[in-house]
Amino acid sequence: MQTSTTCPYCGVGCGVLVDHDGNTIHHVEGDRDHPANFGRLCVKGSALHETLGWHGRLTRPRVDGLEVDWDTALDAVAGRLDATRAAHGNGSVAAYLSGQLLTEDYYVANKLFKGFLGTPHLDTNSRLCMASAVAGYKRAFGADAVPCSYEDLEDAELVVLVGSNLAWNHPVLYQRLRTAKTRNPLMRVVVIDPRVTDTCEIADLYLGLKPGSDARLFNGLLAWMADKKRLDHVYLDAHTHGLDEALAAAREDDTSIEAVAADCDVDPERLQTFYYWFASQLHVVTLYSQGVNQSSSGTDKSNAIINCHLAGGKIGLPGAGPFSITGQPNAMGGREVGGLANQLAAHMDYHTPGAIDRVTRFWSTDSLTPDLPQGPGYKAVELFEAIERGEIQALWIMATNPAVSLPDANRVRAALEKCPLVIVSECMVDTDLLEYADIVLPASSWSEKNGTVTNSERRISRQRGILPPPGEARHDWWIMVEVAKRLGFGEAFAYAHPCQIFDEHARLSGFENEGDGSRLFNISALAGLDRADYDALAPIQWPVTEQALHGTARLFEDGRFATPDGRAKLVPVCPREPSQPLSEARPLRLNTGRVRDQWHTMTRTGRAPRLMNHRAEPFIEVHPDDALTYGVGDQRLARLVSPSGEYRGRVRVSNSQRRGEVFVPMHWTDRFSGNARMGSLLEAHLDPVSGQPESKHGAVSLEPF
C-alpha cells in the first residue's frame, strides 16, 4: 500500500509517499504532487522509515513511577489538575506545547486550558523559534501573516538569506532555490550570516556580519534607499505609514556606508553592492530565520527587514516579500489555533476587539460556558520562572523537552523538580525530562497520528495515520478529550475523530471576524468536511474562503493590510547590541544551531545510524586564531563555560567561524552525551516584544578539557 503524508521535521513541510503493509513501513520517497517539495526529500526525510520501531517507545501510562492503566492515569491527571485549581486558582495550572503537535492536538489543548480550565498560561516551544517573526508581522501588517510562497523564491531576481543556513536547516527549499538559480542565471543570492555555511555555495555575495548587527545593516539600507532616491513613494503613499519615523530612527546613527560597514564589521564595498542590488530590483525575497528571531531584539530586526520591503514596494508581487521560515513542522499550525500565550484563539489576541466574547459564545454548549482568562499568560521562559516562584503548581508538557532547549536549562530543571505536578505526554521512554514527571502519558508519533500541519508558506497538509501506535500509546487529542470528560467538560469536547476537531477549528477561523486582523486567517471554506473529504484533503494555503476556494498563494496583492486603516506600518527601529555582554571572563560570542542530519534532541533522528555519520558527537566550532589563543586543538576535547552552565565537546577548528565567536549544535542531551546541553550555556535574555530568548548570542569562555 502507498499512503501520502507529510514529513515531521522542518517547516518546509515536504510531502512523503510511504510504502507499507499497515504494520511496517518499507520505503519512503518524496511526493511529486506535493507543492512544497515536488518529489524531493532531504536526508532526514528519506531516512524516516529507519527511525521507526517500537524499541524505546513508551507503551504504558505511569503515575508516581508505577505503570497503570489508562483510566487510572486519566483520573489522576483530571483529579490533580482539579485539586490544584481548587487550592490555588485557575492560573496555577499551565501547559507547554510543541511545534511537533498536529493542529488538532493544539486546538484541543488551547480550548481545554484557555477555554475551560480558565488559565492563560499555555505556551509552546515555537516561542523559541519564530515568536519574533510573528511579532514583527503583526506590528507591520496588523496580522501574523507570511506574505510569500515558496514559488516566490524561484520567481525572485534577488534572494537575500539572513540568519539562515538554508542548506542544512531547510534543505529542500535550498534545493529548490539552487535549481531556480541554475535555470535563471540572472538571479542573485546574497547570504548575510556571521558563519560561512554550506548555503554560501550559491551566494553571489556574502556578508559575514557581526552577530546581532542585522537591524543596523537594514536601517542603513533604508537610509541608503532614501538618499539614492530609490524609495517607491507611490506605494508608500498609497499603502503605508510611518516612513518618516522609521527613517528618523535609522538616521539616529551615522548611515554612511563606511559607518554601517564598521558597525556590522563587513567590507564597505560588499555592503554597497548589496544595497545597490536590493534597491535596483523589484522582485526581491528576503528570507530570514532563527539568526534573526533568536535575539533580544529579534522583533526589531524583522521589522527593519520588513521596512525595506515596504519602502521599495517589494511585497504582494510574484518573487517579492519578507519571508520568515519556521523551524518546526507545525509552528504555523500552533499560531493558527492560539498556541502562543499572548494569543487567545484562531489568530485572535486578547485585545482583539470583541474576541473574548466571540470565543466564549463559539465554545459555549447548551449546558457549558467556557471560563476564558481576560489577558495573556506567561511566555515560555516566564512560565518556568513562575513555576520557580511557586505561582504555577501544575504543568502539562507535550512533545518537547524544555530541560534541554530552554535557556538557563539547569534552572528549568530545578523549577521542574520543585513543581508539585508535572505531567509529560511523550513518545520515547528514555528522555531525561521523564525524571521530573509525576505522570507519564505514552503518546502516538509520526506515522501513527492523524491530522494536519501548516508549513512556512501557510500550506495546510495532512499527516496520515499509517501504523498502529505501540502498546497503549494514544493520540494527544484523545488523551486531552478523556481528561476534559473527567473534568465535566465532555459536551464541549465530544470529538471522536480529528476531522471533527478540524471542522470546529475551520468554523472558528471564520466566526464573526470580518472587522479585525484575525480575518486574514480564515479557512472557513474547509469547514464541514466529512471524514472521507478530510482524509482526502489536498495541500492548500490559507486563507481558504468562498472567494478563494483553492487557497491563497500570496497575501497583500491588493496593497491592503490587516490594520484598521488597511495600511502597513514602517516601524522605527533603534538597533541594540546582544543582551549577554562579552567580558574578560566571557570573551567569546556563542552561536547555536542545528546540524544537517539531526532534529531537535535526536529522539528520532538519533535512531538512524546513517544520520549519525554526519556529526557523530557534540562539537565546538572555533576559528584557528582562537584555537591558538585558548590552547585548544583540532579534534581535542574542550569546554565552554558561562555563569549558567558548561558544555563539553570536540573542537572543530574552522575558518567558517569569525574570530571571537564559537558555534555549538543544539541537539545533544545528557542521554546521548554527558554535559553537552546547549541550553545550559545560555542565559535567559528575552526580546521585550516577542518574549523569544536570545539563543544566538551567548557569552562564554573556552578552555581545554
Q: Which residues bind ligand SF4 (CB under 6 A)?
A: 7, 9-10, 12-14, 37, 41-42, 44-45, 170-172
Cα atoms in the Cβ-side hemisphere of radius 13 Å centred on 481: 18
B/e letters for 71-85, b = 16+ CB within 10 Å, e = fewer, are: eebbbbbbebbbebb
CB of 452 to ligand SF4, least distance (A): 15
- CB nearer to ligand SF4: give 297 or 456: 456
Q: Are 145 and 705 in contact (CB under 8 A)?
A: no
CB of 334 to ligand SF4, least distance (A): 16
- CB nearer to ligand SF4: give 600 or 650: 600
Angle between helices 214-227 and 257-264 (to 10 degrees): 170
- CB nearer to ligand SF4: give 12 or 440: 12
Q: Are 396 and 425 in contact (CB under 8 A)?
A: yes
- CB nearer to ligand SF4: give 413 or 600: 600
Q: What are the E-state strand segments in 119-260?
A: 122-124, 158-162, 188-192, 205-207, 240-241
Which residue sits closest to ligand SF4, CB atoms considered?
45
Residues paired with residue 191 on neighbouring β-strands, in sequence order: 161, 206
Question: Is residue 637 helix, strand or coil?
Answer: strand
CB of 602 to ligand SF4, least distance (A): 14
- CB nearer to ligand SF4: give 37 or 393: 37
- CB nearer to ligand SF4: give 170 or 474: 170
Phi, psi of 184 (to 5 degrees): -120, 90
- CB nearer to ligand SF4: give 10 or 404: 10
CB of 693 to ligand SF4, least distance (A): 23
Residue type, 360: T
CB of 145 to ligand SF4, least distance (A): 22
B/e letters for 555-572, b = 16+ CB within 10 Å, e = fewer, are: bbeeeebbbeeebbbbbb
CB of 601 to ligand SF4, least distance (A): 15
CB of 215 to ligand SF4, least distance (A): 28
The CA distance from 426 to 444, in Å, is: 8
CB of 171 to ligand SF4, least distance (A): 5
- Grid look-up 543582551 returns 579
- CB nearer to ligand SF4: give 13 or 698: 13
The CA distance from 380 to 374, in Å, is: 19
CB of 331 to ligand SF4, least distance (A): 12
- CB nearer to ligand SF4: give 84 or 328: 328
Q: Are 644 and 683 in contact (CB under 8 A)?
A: yes
- CB nearer to ligand SF4: give 138 or 170: 170
The CA distance from 639 to 503, in Å, is: 51
CA 471 to chain centre: 31
CB of 33 to ligand SF4, least distance (A): 15
The CA distance from 637 to 475, in Å, is: 42
B/e letters for 337-360, b = 16+ CB within 10 Å, e = fewer, are: bbbbbbbbbbbbbbebeebbebbe
